[in-house]
């Protein structure tokens, strides 16, 4: 493994905004769960088929899984973003390009963090809606759009990285 310089790169304004938005989504998700808790039935959807139909049910405690995962992803990706010199870059680069490459990597991690937190918040909201019988099945576009956003973000930052190279 090649030795890369460990630069101290402060968060950009965009990364700070992404962090604030991520925290807002996490808080909103947790508040939504807590507000809905008393109205939830003892068994709630825990799995949805590819066609959007509920095919497994479990304890209503499952509703806390999404907010817990949001916090885990947020903390993990925030920590990871502090060490861009440890990322697995697809090519070697000179020290004078390190700053730009690390900033690109940090921004990728920040964007993925927001998208994952948002996607989990959406899943939590949908689970509550189905459990309260306000909906019969998971919306057909939510998950594919969320996954497409994740894939697009990764591709976008790889292309951006190749231009820095």
What is the number of residues in the chain? 165
Contact 2, 86 (CB under 8 A): no
Distance CA 48, CA 137 (A): 8
Residue 154 in any domain: the answer is: yes
- Biggest CA-to-CA distance, the chain: 58
Q: What is the pTM of this model?
A: 0.89
DSSP assignments along 32-85, one per residue: HHHHHHTTS-SEEEEEE-TTS-EEEEEEGGGGGHHHHHHHHHHHHHHHHTT-GG
Residue 42 in any domain: the answer is: yes
Residue 60 in any domain: the answer is: yes
Containing structural domain, residue 121: 29-164
Residue 17 in any domain: the answer is: no
**Would you write out the chain's pLDDT as a tens digit for each of its 165 residues?**
567 767 888 899 999 999 999 999 999 999 999 999 999 999 988 887 777 778 888 899 999 999 999 999 999 999 999 999 888 888 888 788 888 999 999 999 999 999 999 999 999 998 999 899 887 666 667 778 889 999 999 999 999 998 887
Residue 105 in any domain: the answer is: yes
Number of domains in the chain: 1
């Amino acid at each position: 493994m090649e030795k890369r310089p460990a630069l101290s790169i402060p968060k950009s304004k965009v990364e700070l905004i992404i962090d604030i938005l991520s925290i807002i989504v996490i808080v909103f998700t947790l508040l939504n769960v807590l507000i809905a808790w008393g109205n939830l039935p003892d068994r709630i959807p825990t799995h949805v088929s590819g066609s959007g139909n509920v095919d497994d049910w479990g304890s209503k405690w499952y509703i806390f899984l999404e907010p817990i995962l949001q916090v885990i992803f947020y903390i993990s990706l925030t920590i990871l973003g502090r060490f861009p010199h440890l990322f697995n870059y697809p090519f070697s680069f000179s020290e004078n390009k390190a700053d730009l490459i690390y900033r690109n990597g940090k921004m990728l991690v920040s964007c993925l963090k927001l998208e994952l937190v948002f996607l989990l918040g959406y899943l939590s909201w949908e689970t509550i809606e189905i459990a309260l019988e306000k909906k019969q099945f998971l919306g057909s576009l939510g998950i594919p759009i969320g996954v497409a956003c994740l894939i697009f973000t990764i591709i976008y930052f790889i292309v951006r990285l190749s231009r820095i190279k």
